């Protein structure tokens, strides 16, 4: 039985709200060649880095979330949703920013449209200092086992913030895990867990002028690890599973066993959460990859962004 109850994780990243409008389509609009969605339900959930924190809590650990929100209705909603999910929220309110919201319009299992409300301009140096001061204050009163840097390219992770927060994490001896986006990927150096997805991995390989291949190769992995100065490399490969190259030089592609894929949204959040928590427990890389596949697969079996639950993981492990 997995038990992560003693782990405490700091999550820093782009905070979002996932908004779902679910209904049925029975006709086309007379105004334009588009379907008319007759609304049946409307829900709001934590998204982005907030969903990573939600996964951490749902896996039985404790999570503190740091990020930026706007001084708006959705920012207030983030506080309420975090309180409901037992997440300690330490948000920085920024006047020139709006809280990021992704609205998805769904009929049956089909997503008809996604509408994004966001301001992705880079944060100012003043906001960088406010974030660092908040993390330093938290570190004085709490013992964190790890920090997850969760990037969605919404303007939070400037090169200055990345450099300073990694230095701060190192001084506190936290495990540093990164789920990057390609726009700022090369700034996330000297981390313990570096987890790009397949697209990000090959984009970085192309930047480094590495020979293009259809699948992740050992030469590419070694070059990227050397360039990023990371201890372990984890690449999510979608339906093909997870590739890892760990600190000891072990590598493998561990295939997924999930067949019932309904929705891939949020799978990466579950994977980085599971890899981080399992690393804290000093599990083997092969075991971590199996658990990461299981976590991502469980999320994919449900419609919409949902967290992976520790009871579901333990149940699957026992069967």
Sign of CA dihedral 318, 310, 289, 198: positive
- The three-point CA angle 72-73-79 to 5° equals 100
User: How many structural domains comprise the chain?
Assistant: 1
| pLDDT of amino acid 214 | 67
Examine residue 3 and state whether it is found in any structural domain, yes or no: no
Examine residue 30 and state whether it is found in any structural domain, yes or no: no
| pLDDT of amino acid 168 | 97
Q: Which of 162, 139, 167 is nearest to 149 (CA)?
A: 162
β-strands 15-28, 146-150: how paired? unpaired
**CB-based contacts of 178, cutoff 8 Å, min separation 6:** 148, 149, 151, 188, 191, 193, 194, 195, 230
Per-residue pLDDT in tens (0 to 9) along the chain, 319 residues? 899 999 999 999 999 999 999 999 999 999 999 999 999 999 999 999 999 999 999 999 999 999 999 999 999 999 999 999 999 999 999 998 999 999 999 998 788 999 999 999 999 999 999 999 999 999 999 999 999 999 999 999 999 999 999 999 999 999 999 999 999 999 999 999 999 999 999 999 888 888 666 678 888 999 999 999 999 999 998 888 899 999 999 999 998 776 666 556 668 899 999 999 999 999 999 999 999 999 988 876 766 677 899 999 898 888 7
Examine residue 101 and state whether it is found in any structural domain, yes or no: yes
The answer to whether residue 263 is catalytic is no
Q: Which two tokens stand for residue 240?
A: 């093909």
Q: Which two tokens stand for residue 183?
A: 């726009």
Examine residue 29 and state whether it is found in any structural domain, yes or no: no
Q: Which two tokens stand for residue 215?
A: 């699948």
State the residue range of the domain holding 147.
8-23+38-318
Query: Rounded CA gap, 154 and 114, in Å?
Result: 17
Provide the CA 269 distance to its chain's centre, in angstroms.
4
Examine residue 257 and state whether it is found in any structural domain, yes or no: yes
Sign of CA dihedral 100, 298, 113, 201: positive
What CATH number should be reported for the domain holding residue 278?
A: 3.40.1190.20
Instruction: Give the active site residue among 192, 246, 263, 269.
Output: 269
Examine residue 245 and state whether it is found in any structural domain, yes or no: yes
Examine residue 133 and state whether it is found in any structural domain, yes or no: yes
| pLDDT of amino acid 258 | 67
């Amino acid at each position: 039985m997995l038990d992560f109850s003693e782990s405490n994780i700091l999550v820093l990243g782009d905070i979002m709200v996932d908004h779902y409008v679910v209904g049925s389509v029975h006709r086309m609009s007379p105004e334009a060649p588009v379907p008319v969605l007759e609304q049946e339900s409307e829900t709001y959930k934590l998204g982005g880095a907030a969903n990573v924190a939600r996964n951490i809590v749902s896996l039985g650990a404790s999570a503190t979330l740091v990020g930026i929100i706007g001084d708006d209705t959705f920012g207030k909603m983030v506080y309420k949703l975090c309180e409901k999910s037992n997440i300690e929220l330490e948000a920085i309110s920024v006047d020139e920013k709006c809280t990021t919201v992704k609205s998805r319009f769904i009929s049956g299992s089909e997503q008809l449209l996604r509408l994004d409300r966001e301001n992705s301009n880079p944060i100012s140096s003043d906001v960088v200092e406010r974030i660092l001061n908040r993390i330093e204050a938290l570190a004085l009163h709490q013992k964190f086992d790890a920090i997850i840097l969760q990037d969605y390219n919404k303007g939070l992770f400037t090169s200055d913030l990345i450099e300073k927060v990694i230095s701060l994490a190192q001084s506190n001896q936290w495990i540093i895990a990164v789920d990057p986006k390609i726009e700022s990927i090369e700034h996330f150096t000297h981390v313990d867990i570096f987890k790009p997805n397949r697209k990000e991995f090959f984009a970085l390989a192309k930047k480094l002028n590495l020979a293009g291949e259809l699948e992740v190769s050992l030469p590419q992995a070694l070059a990227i690890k050397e360039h990023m100065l990371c201890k372990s490399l984890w690449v999510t490969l979608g339906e093909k599973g997870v590739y890892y190259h760990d600190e000891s030089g072990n590598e493998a592609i561990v295939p997924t066993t999930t067949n019932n894929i309904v929705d891939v949204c949020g799978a990466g959040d579950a994977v980085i959460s599971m890899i981080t928590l399992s690393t804290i427990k000093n599990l083997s890389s092969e075991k971590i990859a199996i658990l990461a596949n299981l976590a991502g697969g469980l999320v994919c079996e449900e419609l919409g962004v949902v967290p992976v639950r520790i009871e579901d993981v333990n149940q699957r492990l026992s069967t």
